[in-house]
């Protein structure tokens, strides 16, 4: 069995940074639920994660995630990460700026074996929009 930390780091490196949505089929359960991410509502299962990744890559380029630390207990893991990206498409109804931003995030996931079954997140979306000049 792969450690929760290895799975989490792999999700960001192999899926979110590359945008390869086909990987979602082997990373999450068939009834996976993302309680935190747009677009909403998304269907359960891998299509949910595929929609999130497609949404991010339609708005952002040069996506980089740094997972700072992972805490794991039983079937749960929490982790702190930073997303850095460039806005090249509409984001939450705001036009592209070509600007780069960094966003702090905290995530929690529930595992079913080696697959992610549920995800929750607290992200600084407003801070990112401020950095991009969309909010003052």
Partners of 102 in the beta sheet?
84
User: pLDDT tens for residues 24-36?
Assistant: 999 999 999 998 8
Q: In the predicted model, is pLDDT for residue 41 greater than 80?
A: no
Q: What are phi and psi of 85, to 5 degrees?
A: -160, 170
pTM of this structure: 0.90
Of the candidates 85, 92, 119, 135, which has an alpha carbon nearest to the alpha carbon of residue 11? 119
Whether residue 63 contacts residue 56, with contact meaning beta carbons closer than 8 Å, is answered with: yes
How confident is residue 73, by pLDDT bands cut at 50, 70 and 90? very high
**How far is the CA of 72 from the CAs of 4, 25, 94, 106, in angstroms?**
7, 23, 36, 14
Is 56 in a helix, a strand, or coil?
Answer: helix
User: pLDDT tens for residues 84-113?
Assistant: 999 999 999 999 999 999 999 999 999 999
Query: What is the pLDDT at residue 37?
Result: 67
Is it true that domain 4-131 has CATH number 3.10.450.50? yes
Q: Which helix (H) or strand (E) holds 107?
A: strand 100-112
Q: Where are the domains of the chain?
A: 4-131
Mean pLDDT for the stretch of residues 125-134: 97
Q: In the predicted model, is pLDDT for residue 39 greater than 70?
A: no
């Amino acid at each position: 069995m792969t450690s929760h930390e290895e799975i989490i780091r792999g999700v960001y490196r192999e899926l979110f940074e590359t945008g390869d949505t086909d990987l979602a089929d082997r990373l999450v359960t068939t009834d996976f639920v993302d309680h935190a991410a747009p677009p909403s509502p998304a269907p359960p299962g891998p299509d949910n994660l595929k929609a999130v990744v497609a949404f991010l890559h339609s708005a952002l380029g040069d996506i980089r995630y740094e997972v700072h630390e992972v805490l794991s207990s039983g079937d749960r893991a929490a982790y702190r990460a930073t997303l850095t990206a460039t806005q090249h498409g509409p984001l939450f109804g705001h036009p592209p700026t070509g600007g780069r931003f960094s966003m702090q995030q905290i995530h929690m996931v529930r595992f079913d074996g080696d697959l992610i079954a549920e995800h929750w997140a607290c992200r600084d979306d407003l801070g990112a929009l401020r950095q991009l000049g969309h909010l003052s």
